[in-house]
Structure 1
């Protein structure tokens, strides 16, 4: 698939994930976070399997592939979603948006150590621009961080776990389609989350308000669209362009998260958000390799 289509997929995923930050914040206000996540991820697993079945992509895995599934399920699903949902219940959406924006940097650093794929100069410029845009949009918006909390730490460890999982996905895609890998990871991750919920949140499943139609609708939307479709497409993109370039688009996640909060929650949007958006877009252009492609193209034409 052409790079332009992959980047279009990543842009769509960032929009969905940005809206999902507000959705998850809402869900954690009314239910035990880990228990709620177990149900949401199980729903996501079912949806992905149903989407892949008509295309003949569902198959049995080898012993080695199951190893990738369990490791990816632990990092990308169980730890990532348990820490993310727990962190959202303890910190603000603004703090969460800012910390999520560090995912590209965390991914680049981990990749440089584990895969020996150190980002080039243009990619580092992209990271700096993107993170600068995030910082301006969050800190100067009036919703900035007043202090760091356990919730902030949970969010950071959540994106660190996710960054590690991208490397697992990159290795696993040699023999297994990343979309099928996503379905199996969600399945084992949901099992891990359910067990954790029973241990850490006694009667946690009883707190989930299934009689609240709004809650159920948000839960289904979050699980089926943001988690199932979003992660399936993102993991596919990781397999196509690599973890570092794909992770740079996480910067857009932050902007969409702030925008959705303004639209859905009525929070004001001012100049910091617009300036932050420009810097984030510039960061994506430099960090994703688009600027490098333009430079090479102009050099050839000249």
Structure 2
């Protein structure tokens, strides 16, 4: 039996690294909702946001510097752009998610946020050159119905669930992510890791100001609270950004689209197994409907 050529071996190693990175992203993003659900039990939402962004900014800034990038002058217009993205892409959605998860479990949160690409489709039609096609509209309609299922009681009466307001906050967080995606298309050209660092620094600065304005806690949170801050900061806000940029560079956006399909699944599994969250028919039905809508909306995109 002949040994594989160096070229084939290198390709196999690169593929393995890509798959491992994709798996890591699924686990990090999926567990983030679970960690937020635990963190808000011990820390106020705004301090949880501030803590995770500070740790995330430190890690990504270090990574950007190791890549040889340096920050532009404060007068550079890119700081204003990334300041805006820091608010719409980190501070606002992180805060809305934290408040919503005071009463909403992590699995439902992940499914609602998973509908973000559908919201982006509508916003992109009005604010970019990406037109709304028939398939995109059908996908949006189907996916939005999947999210609506989560607002219905288990017995499918005409009323709404008691904590529907919290789910609206989660939906608004998804809208904020979608707005960030649209805004990001207009940002002046910047190395990805440097842009991510600038965005996190701006987000961390704003969140710390608001956290201090809300008042300093009377007592330090228990160790589990600190662990959630560190885990969210170094994980979903830090390491995930680095892996995200690497995967995009090596495989393009298609791989990321596929990863997003599995993130809600991981979140539901973490929530059910670690937090004993309920696993209901609505979670399954909503997830399948939302994913179907997202997949339909992407028909034809790869060809273009």
Which TM-score band applies after superposition, normalised by the shorter structure? 0.7 to 0.9
Query: Which stretches in structure 2 are left out of the alignment for 5+ residues?
Result: 1-16
Q: Is the 8 A contact 2:151 2:164 kept in 1?
A: no
Candidates 31, 36, 61, aligned match of 2:72 = 61
Q: Quote the Cα distance in structure 2 between the aligned partners of 1:281 and 1:160.
A: 17
From the CA coordinates, give the structure whose radius of gyration is larger: 2
1:25 deviates by 0.7
1:223 positional shift: 1.2
Residue 176 (structure 2) aligned to one of 161, 178, 181: 161
* Structure 1 position 42, deviation (Å): 0.4
- Residue in structure 2 matched with residue 265 of structure 1 by the alignment: 275
Provide the rounded CA distance (Å) in 2 between the counterparts of 1:103 and 1:95.
14
Distance change >3 Å, CA 249–CA 164, structure 1 → 2: farther
Higher helix content, 1 or 2: 1
Unaligned runs of 5+ in 1: 297-302
1:190 matched to 2:222: no
| 1:46-195 matched pairs, under 5 angstroms | 46-56=58-68, 58-61=69-72, 63-127=76-140, 146-172=161-187, 174-195=188-209
Q: Is the Cα contact below 8 Å between 2:147 and 2:286 reproduced in 1?
A: yes
Cα deviation, residue 132, structure 1: 5.8
Gap change, CA 1:92 and 1:278, over 3 Å in 2: closer
Given that residues 90 and 150 in structure 1 are in contact (C-alpha distance below 8 angstroms), is that contact kept between their aligned partners in structure 2? Answer: no
Number of equivalent positions? 281
What residue is the counterpart of 1:27 in the other structure?
39
Deviation at 1:90, TM superposition (A): 4.3
Q: Deviations over 1:35-91 (max 9, x none)?
A: 1211111000111122233221x2122511112111111211222222221222244
What secondary structure does 1:29 align onto? coil
C-alpha RMSD of matched pairs (Å): 3.9
TM-score in terms of structure 1 length? 0.75
CA offset at residue 161 of structure 1?
A: 1.8
**Matched residues in 1 for 2:26 and 2:283: separation?**
16
Contact 1:141 1:269 (8 Å CA) reproduced: no
